[in-house]
Amino acid sequence: MIRLITAVSILIPIAVFILIQFPVQILNIDADLPLLHAVINGSTAVILLLAYWRIKVGDRETHKRLMLTSLGLSTVFLVSYVLSKLSNEPTPYGGEGMIRYIYFFILITHIILATTIVPLALFSIYRGLTGQFEKHKKVAKWTFPIWLYVAVTGVLVYLFMAPYYA
């Protein structure tokens, strides 16, 4: 399982990088995917906060269900994001001045941390599901804030970009 998590953690960022660097339109999906992505990211953030609260009050079972839901939402997001890259041309950001710098800071940190969250989340969930709770806690203390940041900044990126989507 560790090898599979490692392989997925390497292949996903490479595939997304290639799709961003070499956009190809092979699909024609007529949907507001950026809005869907923001909704998924916002929902993930809320569920992560609920899961954190439930584990703090000792409700391990609800925490587990919520974390698996977060993983499911993140998987749906990733598939939808890849589909959007295969069906839509990139939309450039049109903001100017200081807001442009703020946008790119949020976007760059979002992208960098999104690549790190894949192995962190997979290892955290794997260790939790297999009862390796001490190892789970060690990874989860990094996973939670990074995953939450990625989810929240995903919504922020959408809000910055919303005026430029056709």
Residue 22 pLDDT = 73
Given this model, what pLDDT does residue 27 score? 62
Domain boundaries, the chain: 32-164
Token pair, residue 132, equals: 């390796």
Q: What is the dihedral of CA 97, 101, 103, 107, to 10 degrees?
A: 160
Average pLDDT per run of 10 along the chain, which is 166 residues long? 88 82 67 90 98 97 98 94 80 94 97 94 96 96 98 97 88
Per-residue pLDDT at 48: 98
d(CA 91, CA 105): 17
CATH number for the domain running over 32-164: 1.20.120.80
Q: How far apart are CA 72 and CA 85, in angstroms?
A: 20
